[in-house]
Structure 1
């Protein structure tokens, strides 16, 4: 993969200046929260009532209310009255929210592939079109060829810079007591990346060739203690590997493992979604080309059995059909 977004003037010229988030920055800011992802995951399988979210997640009233309000405010859910006395509401996907399903399926797929001990919470996906259990493949809509980190060329678009991607990442740090909340225990591997906004942008930068602590700090601008904590956790979950350099014994690099590289599909799906629902008048954040066919990258999920494009309405999880618009 061409790694031009890893550095250079475009990547750093606005650091230290408050810059409005671009489309990808909005998406990373929204999805970089473990509770938000788990709420949307339940919504995909039909959960809509407040009481049902509470029953299925070890989440406090305050946290659930704040996350639902945020999803409504962001236009992913619509709040609908279904009972008047007493008033009761359900939370239903909008078109924008329903379009998140490829990301959640991709995360689901990653967890099944790399964390087999958690398969009780990630049952198989069944493609209703062909009737087979499947592991959908992130593919090019033009040639239907697989899209992986090594066959995509990427460069900054007019709205692209790291500063505008990370500008919405200065939020709370996830507590080290997260196990008490229960959220992290659902998908610990995937949540090590997508459950924290800084972790997400660190992995994205690593995919573009950033490796040294000082370079992550220069390109992304996180507080050093936060960066050290995130890098340590990503190494603990085998997303990154800290490698001592033979040429400089006191230097080390953080290199993506195979597990880490496999997050490329999920991150690319975030870009797909973000560019669709947060269009910037300046233009695209990233210019992506699928090298095998030479066409602009537009990703889809394809069934690994029947080779047909997968649609949200044609996915079954443990006999519970996903509810997409």
Structure 2
């Protein structure tokens, strides 16, 4: 009998158990920009019909989408976000923010967001409602909360679907690289560990309870993505650790909004596993996504959007004959 492994409880882990799948994130992305029917999701996500059907069913089962009949003969359904699904909006905005900053933009769709409250086109900004300052990873201090503990690992076998995002056509591509990272829950757990100060391979392995071969692959992949980098911290004997790059540090708001959503919908009876404080005065962190123009929190009902067509490389100049 194999030894039971345990993982540190965390609302990020619980959230990733639900949405930590690239295909699911592509479906949610399509839903944010108006997809409601199966063919709309198929066109937007480029997912195979069988995979799309499976993930739509899963999203209905977890209460993120609801299925509504719009035709009796023949029976036809639409898929609409529930309140639980709409509460992922801040996570989606932080994913969009990261994609815009760090992924190549050529050949991708973009979204122009307009805040109805102030009427301005805005950039989504991670902010603390208590002090109105923008949130950065270096300005957040964490401590164990009443819900901290260890739980048995329940790793289900999932194929990697990173290519589902990477291979989309230019007509549908919006959030590709960030969907690959957020859609890989093991990569998310690795980043969670490093953000909490665990940088050595053995430390990350104990914290995530991953098989060593899976951890090695995820670490190498995140290094290739430029999210983390390998640093030598001892020359005799040679020892290495993994540190976040600037690109990796800027991923923090995505994890923060996942934690917020996980705390709301998957909180343990004892309370939150993590308590967050905002430096330098140590007040309780009140995370929100705000409008870069007026500073007010943005809600899905208060935002209009316009899809911007993919950026193209300028045509090469014709050579003189």
Q: TM-score, normalised by structure 1?
A: 0.85
Deviations 1:1-52 (A, max 9, x none): xxxxxxxxxxxxxx93467966433201112111111111111122111121
| Aligned equivalent of 1:63 | 51
Alignment correspondent of 1:24: 12
Please tell me whether the aligned partners of residues 231 and 243 of structure 2 are also in contact (alpha carbons under 8 angstroms): yes
Does 2:156 correspond to 1:167? no
SS of the equivalent of 1:59 reads coil
1:123 and 2:111 are equivalent in the alignment: yes
Give the count of matched residue pairs. Answer: 304
Contact 1:126 1:133 in 2 (8 A): yes
Mapped pair 1:236 → 2:236: no
| More helix by percentage | 1
Structure (1/2) with the larger strand percentage? 2
1:75 maps to which of 60, 63, 81? 63
- Of 284, 297, 300 in structure 1, the residue corresponding to residue 285 of structure 2 is 297
User: Counterparts of 1:209 and 1:133 in 2: how far apart (Å)?
Assistant: 37
How far, CA to CA, are the matches of 1:78 and 1:265 in structure 2? 28
Q: Which has the larger radius of gyration?
A: 2
Closer, same or farther: CA 19–303 of 1 in aligned 2, 3 Å: closer
- Residue in 1 that maps onto 2:250: 262
Q: Secondary structure at the match of 2:264?
A: helix
**Two-structure CA RMSD over aligned residues (Å):** 2.7
Q: Deviations over 1:157-188 (max 9, x none)?
A: 22224x54x83544324167657864997534
Bigger shift: residues 66-75 or 277-286: 277-286
Moved more, 83-92 or 140-149: 140-149
Unaligned 5+ runs, structure 1: 1-14, 321-325
Q: Kindly tell me: are residues 76 and 215 of structure 1, through their superposed partners in 2, closer, same or farther at Cα, counting changes over 3 Å?
A: same
Counterpart of 1:220? 208
Output the CA distance in 2 between the equivalents of 1:31 and 1:204.
16
Structure 2 equivalent of residue 38 of structure 1: 26
The counterpart of 1:280, out of the listed 249, 255, 268, is 268
Unaligned runs of 5+ in 2: 309-321
Deviations 1:228-254 (A, max 9, x none): 111111111100011233534632211
- 1:54-93 CA-to-partner distances (Å, cap 9, x unmatched) read 1222111211111111111111111111111110011111
| TM-score between the two structures when normalised by the length of structure 2 | 0.86
